[in-house]
Amino acid sequence: MKVIITGGAGYIGSHVCLAVHRSGHTPVIIDNFSNSSPACVRRLGELIDDVVECHNVDVCDAGMLNDVFAAVLPGAVIHCAGLKAVGESFADPLHYYEKNILGAVNVLRAMDVVGTSRVIFSSSATVYGDPEYLPYDEQHRLAPENPYGRTKLFIEHLIHDWDKAGKNRSAVLLRYFNPIGAHPSGLIGEDPNDFPNNLMPYILDVAAGKRPDLKVFGDDYQTPDGTGVRDYIHVEDLADGHVAALGYAVRHTGVGTFNLGTGRGYSVLEVIAAFERASNRQIPYEVVARRAGDIAEFFADASKASETFGWSPNRDLDRMCADAWNWRVKNPNGYSE
């Protein structure tokens, strides 16, 4: 069946496209290229030795979105399009509420018009907020502490209400932890438009000589080495989780919610050490003040996804770092060829 992937030219979406193709379905991309590149779509075509259908449409443009849905008649939708920078969401919350929530409403409406009843939603572990306990399981209290996380939680609620309002609808909410790495070909990867927001792009800049050192945001947390601990997951494992979720959505109705993490947390210093092993590059760093809003430690209880749809991440931290470095070495300027 045809599967529309909104944001399908982005970091996560492009890897999901490949996984959807690997599973025998036909990915169709909708992307406005606000934080992605048409070059990525061309490279996806190279990787699957075919042309990937792509529509340059903003999910906030309901008219154009409905036209694409009417032309494609998708069997399912994987909704990845949205703004995702935590810091930026504090600076411009209305932009985040408008783009993320309106975009989701438009996608669900477009589905209803053409009778598509299955949606997979790219949610986030940020919906949990300050941990009451760890690892986070899917029953953990939901208390996001930033506008970005609140848009994700609002969209989860919105999808629950959409499901209840219709018959035979199915939705899977995937709560991502910290995706890093890249497809082993080195043809697709993370290419942040402006300043990176996350740890791995900064490490890559240091390894590539674009930055003199990594700023480590605090080493006085209650963690084994004092630096922040996160559940890093290879983006290829994350993409495979979407295909498993798609199969679940085909076989079930109602809403299923799943963590996509590895169940193992790594500190900043552990990531630096793994990257140095994988790249044979030194990553000098300077410990600076904590970043406002950071949580000391979080990682996933990913057993529900494993037990429910047989998905288990199988790429370790060294592989994540090696694939991230491979992408960077082959594409020092990202997609700007």
Please give the DSSP secondary-structure letter assigned to residue 101.
I
Interface mask toward ligand WQD for 185-224; x: CB under 6 A: ------------xxx--x-----------xxxx-------
Q: Going by C-beta distance under 8 Å and a sequence separation of 6 or more, which residues neighbour residue 294?
A: 217, 218, 228
Q: Nearer Cβ to ligand WQD, position 95 or 291?
A: 291
Q: Can you state the angle between helices 317-330 and 199-207, rounded to 10 degrees?
A: 60
Which of 124, 151, 259, 262 is close enough to bind ligand WQD by CB under 6 A?
Answer: 124
Residue 330's nearest CA partner among 194, 183, 180, 211 is 183
Q: What's at 240, amino acid-wise?
A: D
Which of positions 292-331 make contact with ligand WQD (CB under 6 A)? 294
Tell the smallest beta-carbon distance from residue 83 to ligand WQD (Å): 10
Q: How far apart are CA 286 and CA 216, in angstroms?
A: 6
Size of the site for ligand WQD (CB under 6 A): 19
**Exposed e or buried b per residue across 214-240, where buried means at least 16 C-beta atoms within 10 angstroms of its C-beta:** bebbbbebebeebbbbbbbbbbbbbbb
Interface mask toward ligand WQD for 2-31; x: CB under 6 A: ------------------------------
Q: Is 228 in the site for ligand WQD (CB under 6 A)?
A: yes
Cβ(315)–Cβ(234) under 8 Å?
Answer: yes
Q: Nearer Cβ to ligand WQD, position 178 or 326?
A: 178
CA distances from 252 to 73, 107, 207, 230, 244 (A): 20, 20, 45, 31, 12
CA distances from 48 to 54, 175, 192 (A): 14, 28, 24
Q: Nearer Cβ to ligand WQD, position 53 or 297?
A: 297
Q: Going by C-beta distance under 8 Å and a sequence separation of 6 or more, which residues neighbour residue 251?
A: none
Q: Going by C-beta distance under 8 Å and a sequence separation of 6 or more, which residues neighbour residue 71?
A: none
Q: Nearer Cβ to ligand WQD, position 48 or 287?
A: 287
Which of positions 235-294 make contact with ligand WQD (CB under 6 A)? 268, 291, 294
Tell the smallest beta-carbon distance from residue 321 to ligand WQD (Å): 13
Tell the smallest beta-carbon distance from residue 172 to ligand WQD (Å): 16
Tell the smallest beta-carbon distance from residue 114 to ligand WQD (Å): 29
Q: How far apart are CA 178 and CA 31, in angstroms?
A: 22
Tell the smallest beta-carbon distance from residue 110 to ligand WQD (Å): 24
Tell the smallest beta-carbon distance from residue 173 to ligand WQD (Å): 13
Q: Nearer Cβ to ligand WQD, position 221 or 311?
A: 221
Which of positions 24-63 make contact with ligand WQD (CB under 6 A)? none
Please pick, among 96, 128, 136, 148, the residue that the annotation labels catalytic. Answer: 148
Q: Nearer Cβ to ligand WQD, position 202 or 258?
A: 202
Give yes or no: 176 in active site.
no
Q: Which two tokens stand for residue 261?
A: 């993490």
- Residue ranges in contact with ligand WQD by CB under 6 A: 84, 86, 124, 126, 176, 178, 197-199, 202, 214-217, 228, 230, 268, 291, 294
What residues are annotated to the active site?
148
